[in-house]
Structures are given as C-alpha cells and as structure tokens.
Amino acid sequence: MRPVYALLLAVLLAACASTPPAPAPAVPDPVHDPAPFSTALALDVLPPGWKPYRLARFKKPTKYQLVPLDGTVAMRAQADASASGLQFDLTVDVKEFPWLTWHWKVPELIGGANNSVHQVEDSPARVIVTFEGGREKLPDAEQINYDLAKAMTGNELPYATIMYIWENQLPEGALIEHHFSTRVKMIVAGSGRKDLGRWHEERVNVLEDFRRAFGEEPPRVRAVGIMSDSDNTGGHAVAYFGDIRFRKK
C-alpha cells in the first residue's frame, strides 16, 4: 500500500486430504466484539456496524462479500491492483481484554510482495487495530504526516495502528515499521506457504504487542478492521476472514 492510508495511518491456509473444520459461529460481546460474519442473516449487506474504508478517492477499492464457506459464513476479500478495507468502530481497554482472536484463510500469496519494501508492500490479508490518543503528543514530523494524510484522504488518522499481516517471507512475529509513519507498525501473524488454503486461528496479545511496537502503554482501541491490498504490485489476492473477538484470556 502507498502512503495515503487512513485506516492505518491513520490472511488462511495448505489443504489437507480432508476438508479442514470451519470456525464455529461466534456469540458477539456487545461492547468488545465486532459484529460477527458467521451469523449474518443476509449475504448482500454488511453486518451492522461494519463499514467500507477507502484509503484514497483515486485508489481502486477491494471487493468484499459475505459468502457461505466450509459450513459457516465468512467475509471474502478480492483485491485486483486495489486497496481498501472494512472497519468496525468500538472501544476496548486492552489492559482488561488483551487477547485478540480471529480465523482467516488465504488461498495464495501475492507474487513479489514484501512488506518491508514500500514499493511492493502488499498483503492478501490484514487485521488492523487502531488506538485512541491525541496527536499533540506526537513530534512535529508526525503531525505533518497526519496533516498530509488528512488532506489526501479526508480522514483523521489514529494515534497509533497495529496491522497483523500475512507476509510472503518474513517470519511470524516480525515487527515492521511503516515507511511513512512511526505510528503504524506491522506484525507478521501468518507467513509463507505452509498454511495456505485452510482455515487458521490466530491469537495475539495486543497489550504486549503495543508495548513492543511503541514503547509505551496502550490507550483504548477505537476500531478494528480487515483489508486485502495488491495496489503496489498490481497483483491479485483473495482472502477469507472469520469472526474477530477480544478476550480477557
């Protein structure tokens, strides 16, 4: 993706001989969980609270569609030289609910993508967490970036953003600083080809990840999102996302 983010500037997995089990439907927590995809009553509308997020007016958007898959309902993302996301606004104290879990399924990698090289920074699947906070705490250089992003996208950027990504080569757990802002960090949650084509559950400690990424205590979460992007490589990507949940343990 290019430096006109807003959700940020604010993916999955190799089929076995038998069909892998699909994630069980979630019972949403009205405060701490986004509306689940698995219990959606209609496939042609987004679940309540989910909304599209355009990175820039001139960028081709990624296509999102609820689909029945492996005995459940999942959100299918298809990126064709495109980049956009879906966002769900909520408030979560990660000191009380530090664990974030989700299922995802990625059929194939994006050829040539590398999230440590900004010219080819694409990922078939990202789960994004953004945080509250005032920009007045940030250095002048970061505030200039915020003004630039606001002018180009029309959106206020989050105080901080963590993106959990599916990466071609870098190992799981690798921390990548975004080239445009020190307030956007990527953490590799899925890596390489070994889990392609089957459902995989991820479980991450957002509290500890924030401390590691930013060297400070985390403010409250203000939104979560999903994204598939292939605009930099001009490639093709498909990903399926299951329910996203915050948990105490």
- β-strand partners of 92: 221
Q: What is the pLDDT of residues 143-173, one digit of tens each?
A: 887 787 777 777 778 999 999 999 999 999 9
* Beta-sheet strand order (sheet of 72-80): 63-69, 72-80, 236-247, 99-105, 200-205
* pLDDT value for 155: 75
* pLDDT value for 2: 44
6 pLDDT above the threshold of 70: no
Q: What is the pLDDT of residues 16-56, one digit of tens each?
A: 333 345 555 554 444 579 999 999 999 999 999 999 998 88
Domain 50-188+203-247 has CATH 1.10.10: no
DSSP state of 216: S
